[in-house]
Amino acid sequence: MATTTNYGWTTPDDTALVKDGASAIRTLGTSVDTTTKNLNPETTLGDIAYRSSTSNVNTRLGIGGTGTVLTVAGGVPTWATAGGGGLTLISTTTLTGASVTLSSIPQTYNHLQLIVQNWIPVNDNANLRFRFNADSTASRHVSNSMIGDVASSFGSTSAQFSAQQDNGTSQALIVGNVFNYTNTTTWKFYNVHAIGNNSTTTTEANYVTILQGAYNQTTAISSIELFANTGNLTSGTVLLYGVK
Amino acid sequence: MTTKPQVKIVNCETGEEIVRDATAAEIAQIKVDADNAAKAKAEAEAKETAKSAILDRIGLTADELKTILG
């Protein structure tokens, strides 16, 4: 009997009898069906297939869990937890009102990065401040300039997060990092780089500042409240990223 | 009618956003925060005033002092 070039399916010889046609077609169809199934073992939405050690037989790899990535282990593809270095956007929020609280922050990342763009306070020269875990207990937050050695006394109910900002024009940018925020054995600290518009000459920066601060509690950080040190928030965008 | 301050709460797990009136406790905290900011501003201004008084006594401007300190 003749066979096909690639998959070796049996086909009638040129001299085969017409009366055997039905049987020959059925045999060929069964072979095609078997091969097709071997090459497409997926059964569920999102499944993928890869070549097995057997020629023309693929292996099904079920869809991975949310956030997992494809890697290789033991010479075959497999899903695994994402490695270090990745940024995941957790939330995008518009600043408004007296305060904005980012709550229920996922506890699955190593660090947090908070980016505030184009924020505008109601009052000229206001600073943006923040508070961890809605904790307004006195003497738990501290912040200061990173220029030089500055004694840090936990003397506040919140911490500074920005340079002073004009209340009409904003090209302000704030990038802050909260490190190891899920651990429950150490105090927490953050650093921030910030630039804001001068309230008199808005084409100038009021400050290009580097700040640092801390929170003297061992509780994991699950919420961050942002507010102006004076007056309401007019606008601005807050992006919260999880860092692996 | 007095308008209460508005606070926004964003649930990062679900994406749900709630904007509501501040509670009495939150309004009290807003006042504490404002008082703290006013106090810090007053302290900074007092520091600047004291610095200017010292410079006046020794007859130097702030720029001249910066030059001396390098």
Q: Where along chain B do its domains lie? A: 6-69
Lowest mean pLDDT segment, chosen from A140-144, A201-205, A211-215: A140-144
Q: Does B16 touch chain A (CB under 8 A)?
A: no
Instruction: Please tell me the predicted confidence (pLDDT) of residue A70.
Output: 93
Mean of all residue pLDDT scores within chain B: 89
Q: Given this model, what pLDDT does residue B21 score?
A: 96
Listed in order, strand segments (DSSP E) in chain A are 2-3, 10-11, 48-51, 58-61, 68-73, 76-81, 87-94, 99-103, 111-121, 128-132, 141-145, 159-160, 173-179, 188-197, 205-215, 224-228, 233-243
Question: How close B57 comes to chain A (CA, Å)?
Answer: 28
The alpha carbon of residue A102 is apart from the nearest alpha carbon of chain B, in Å, by 5
Average pLDDT over residues A231-239: 96
Model confidence at B36, pLDDT cuts 50, 70, 90, reads confident
The two beta strands, B6-11 and A99-103, are: parallel
Q: Is the pLDDT of residue B64 over 90?
A: no
Output the average pLDDT for chain A: 91
Residue A150 pLDDT: 60
8 Å CB contact between A90 and A212: no
For residue A198, what pLDDT band results from cuts at 50, 70 and 90?
Answer: very high
Which of B4, B7, B10 to mutate to probe the A interface, most A CBs <10 Å?
Answer: B10
What's the pLDDT tens digit per position in A19-61? 788 998 999 999 999 999 999 999 999 999 999 999 999 999 9
Q: What is the pLDDT of residues A156-196, one digit of tens each?
A: 888 888 888 999 999 999 999 999 999 999 999 899 999 99
**CB-closest option in A97, A127, A230 to B7:** A97
Q: Which residues from A are below 8 Å from B9, CB to CB?
A: 101, 103
Weakest mean pLDDT among A104-118, B10-24, B48-62 = B48-62
- A209 band by pLDDT with thresholds 50, 70 and 90: confident
- List Cα–Cα distances, A196 to A101, A173, A199, A207, A228, in angstroms: 22, 7, 9, 6, 13
The full set of domain ranges for chain A reads: 2-81, 87-243
Query: Does B23 contact A at CB distance below 8 Å?
Result: no
CATH architecture of A87-243: Sandwich (2.60)
Of B6, B10, B36, Cβ closest to residue A97? B6
Q: How confident is the model at residue A107 (pLDDT cuts 50, 70, 90)?
A: very high
- Is 0.80 surpassed by the pTM of this model? no
The pLDDT confidence band at residue A149, using thresholds 50, 70 and 90, is low
Smallest Cβ distance to B10: which of A91, A129, A156? A91
Whether residues A103 and B36 touch (CB distance < 8 A) is answered with no
Please tell me the predicted confidence (pLDDT) of residue B61. 86
Consecutive H or E run containing B21 = strand B17-21
Across A72-89, average pLDDT: 86
Question: d(Cα A84, Cα A60) in Å, to the nearest integer?
Answer: 27
